[in-house]
A and B are shown apart, each in its own frame.
Chain A
């Protein structure tokens, strides 16, 4: 007996307004025909809701990230629909998986090719600390070669954890001063990694 097939012959019209999510307007002063707010808030709002991730996936965490990108978990809801594979255009480097010592310079090169402002997520135990691979060939955490903003624990982390880490990045991005890269603290951090 063949499998019964049901057709959706009475589809309900989808309401576009219901499927669009709006963000809160930044704090500011509004009057008739004008609205004033801090520039960094507006820029932060724009940045945090349109992050372009660069997936640097080397192992099983990358598979978990694919699930996060796919329709069920849908990272696109957070404005990160556009996954780029060019470091020049992306602003969020997501390092997912074991990074061997030989791969270290490659991660660093990709990071250096990204334009400011740029953020980094280390996803999973291996990218964060080397994980179970306490051995001669594996980098014990990518923070030995590049600065990391958010670490996502797990081996591998579930998509919910990836989304949580992504929202942490969004908080950072939204609250950051637009002059972050000019600050002494930031320069000192970059210098500690030998980056100009």
Chain B
């Protein structure tokens, strides 16, 4: 029997109740939201259950939604069931003032670098991570560049205005 989205949703709702919510499937990929401090429990459940078997972590990333107070940062986990070839997406929202999320690096070793990258660009503090420091950007950087707090271009520069690019 193939693993269906309805089955996954049913199993999660049975186990976690209201702690998981907002099930939808954009472009056919089941996505849902979990309460912030339940992320590890949900990941562990999806990993351990024989019929779910989501044992491969494809990606961890984050999204900044500056116009959602209290839910500014979303940490997104992409999981893959290699046996049935089913992918799901788990999102956890957090406040930008206390972006503390439990680390998944004890469950998935591959999460180590992904969480460092997510910390590097969004400043998510993964609680329990062994080595949470910058991985791609220069060590001296004192901000988190992919947060939507910065203008895209330096507005004060005159050496790179439109005329220099032939579109003045």
A interface residues, Cβ below 8 angstroms from B: 101-102, 129-130, 132, 134, 136-137
* B154 is an interface residue with CB less than 8 A from chain A: yes
- Name B134-157 residues within 8 Å CB distance of A: 136-138, 141, 145, 150, 152-154, 157
Q: Is the CB of B138 within 8 A of A101?
A: yes
Q: Which of A101, A102, A134, A137 contacts B153 (CB 8 A)?
A: A134
Q: Is the CB of B154 within 8 A of A102?
A: no
Given contacts A101-B138, A129-B160, 9 further A-B contacts (CB under 8 A): A102-B136, A102-B137, A129-B159, A134-B153, A134-B154, A136-B145, A136-B150, A137-B136, A137-B137
Interface centre among A102, A130, A136 (most CB of B within 10 A): A136
Q: How far is the CB of A11 from chain B (nearest CB, A)?
A: 48
Q: How far is the CB of B97 from chain A (nearest CB, A)?
A: 22
Q: Is the CB of B160 within 8 A of A137?
A: no
Main secondary structure of the interface of A (DSSP, over half): loop
Q: How far is the CA of A102 from the CA of B136 in the complex (A)?
A: 8
Residues of A contacting B154 in the complex (Cβ-Cβ under 8 angstroms) = 134
Q: Is the CB of A134 within 8 A of B157?
A: yes
User: Nearest residue in A to B159 (C-beta to C-beta)?
Assistant: A129
- A-B pairs, top 4 by smallest CB distance, nearest first, are A136-B145, A134-B153, A101-B138, A102-B138
